[in-house]
Amino acid sequence: MSRKYFGTDGVRGLYGGPVINEEFAARLAHAAAIWARGVSGGGVATVLIGRDTRGSGVALEAAVVRGLRAGGAEPISLGVLPTPAVARAVLESAARLGVVITASHNPAADNGIKFFGASGLKLTDEEEAIIESHLGAPIPERAVEAVAENRAVAGYIGAAQALLPVSVLAGWRVVLDTANGATCGTSPVVLRGLGAEVIGIGDAPDGTNINAGVGSEHPELLAEKVRVTGARLGIAHDGDGDRCVLCDERGDVLDGDEILTILATHALSLGRLAKNTLVVTVQSNLGVDAALMAAGGRVVRTSVGDRYVIARMVAEGATLGGEPSGHIICANVSPTGDGLVAALMVIEVMLATGQPLSALRRVMTKFPQRTAALAVREKPPLESLSAVMAAIAALEAELGAQGRVLVRYSGTEAKLRLLVEGPTDAVVRGGLARIEAAVRRELTVL
């Protein structure tokens, strides 16, 4: 069963557009309520709702509440809360479903809706397809409200603080970029509670500035702040808090691949990496594979999207996985990607080894890699683009075992993503230029 509206991370788009608007949000929530009641054997299904700091989130939440009520569900509003905190709340309660109103790292003009099942995991492709099958007539306008509940915030903060010893970060200066998003009220509280001096940036959300020049997609300000203040560590989240990128004490940024490699190789050294396996996506750098192999571990790759990573982790019996974007899943702590948990786990490695982050990152040597994201008007099947496929085949033949090419459409945006890895930067740069030129001959690039 195919999906029309769901992408790799829920339904997402421009607020006020053909999909992300109050009418469709109510219909989607109504369909989700029907599905939730079905899997719970009928009766009233409790649904927890969280959102990020986008101004459009309030109206969309009201529409979601209306749809859920019409579908026989009992909505409970958790207010502004990071995505992983919503997932945790669903897992630890009797809720049948979790809804997060967020467009993650996208600009403030966008918004979206994603769902978590009773296990705290994102829904599968098949479950999302069933929800789409229940999309029916528009939901009648009715004035309804959700029950407000704020205990999830305290529970999430308490669980995060418990991951490290009390006051263990006394004397640490940490720069924290919360992207003007959902982690503004959680991550700084946790770090200060552990004794750290926290210098905040991106911590003044106004409904329009989420991810605007700050956060995991824009770590330049974080890096500069670390250098200027002499901080030991820099941490950046995205708008809904399920991503993390780090900055070492020198002001150099670490992406998700480097974070995963540090965590995995340290766990291997202690005999604690489940199945000796790390799960990553096809987007991850080949340097991850080389580092894990040298440490006695193995890497398993899956499609792009953290929920595909989680599904493969479950299948493999693995407990660590993620993406270069900074989605890090520590399944023995959180059922989904959690930027705060990832940062705390790296801090734990720093404490255990006594090494700064600049030393820990040396465990991985990245293969030269370049990427591009081309905004496109349409998304025809890649196999129908003869020039693009020919350029990919020619480059792959030249690279052989010394590199790779990845071309795919974004699951959340109207973009074609290109990635080339190879033995030298010159080879990679030239190869990417050839692929991009072929794309521009066959697609309208905006």
Domain boundaries, the chain: 11-152, 167-252, 255-363, 369-442
Question: Cα separations (Å) of 421 from 74, 112, 159, 316?
Answer: 49, 32, 39, 27
How far is the C-alpha of 254 from the C-alpha of 234, rounded, in Å? Answer: 10
Scan for tokens 């974004």, then name that residue.
410
CATH number of 369-442: 3.30.310.50
Strand extents, DSSP E, 202-297: 233-236, 245-247, 253-254, 277-281
Of 72, 127, 345, 422, the residue nearest 433 (C-alpha): 422
How far is the C-alpha of 228 from the C-alpha of 222, rounded, in Å? Answer: 10
How far is the C-alpha of 36 from the C-alpha of 2, rounded, in Å? Answer: 19
pLDDT at 2: 75
CATH topology of domain 167-252: Alpha-D-Glucose-1,6-Bisphosphate; Chain A, domain 3 (3.40.120)
pLDDT at 114: 97
In tens, the pLDDT along 18-58 reads 999 999 999 999 999 999 988 766 677 899 999 999 999 99
Of 202, 205, 203, 251, the residue nearest 225 (C-alpha): 251
Q: Exposed, middle or buried by CB within 10 Å (0-12, 13-18, 19+), for 388?
A: buried
Cα atoms found within 13 Å of the Cα of residue 128, Cβ hemisphere only: 21
Question: Cα separations (Å) of 220 from 10, 135, 180, 234, 289?
Answer: 28, 42, 15, 11, 28
Q: Which residues are catalytic?
A: 104
Q: Which residues contact 74 (CB under 8 A, 6 or more apart)?
A: 44, 45, 46, 47, 68, 147
pTM given for the model = 0.90
Which residues, given as ranges, of the chain have pLDDT below 70? 1, 40-42, 137, 140-144, 146
Q: Exposed, middle or buried by CB within 10 Å (0-12, 13-18, 19+), for 430?
A: middle
Fold match, 11-152 / 167-252: yes
CATH topology of domain 11-152: Alpha-D-Glucose-1,6-Bisphosphate; Chain A, domain 3 (3.40.120)
Does domain 255-363 bear CATH number 3.40.120.10?
A: yes
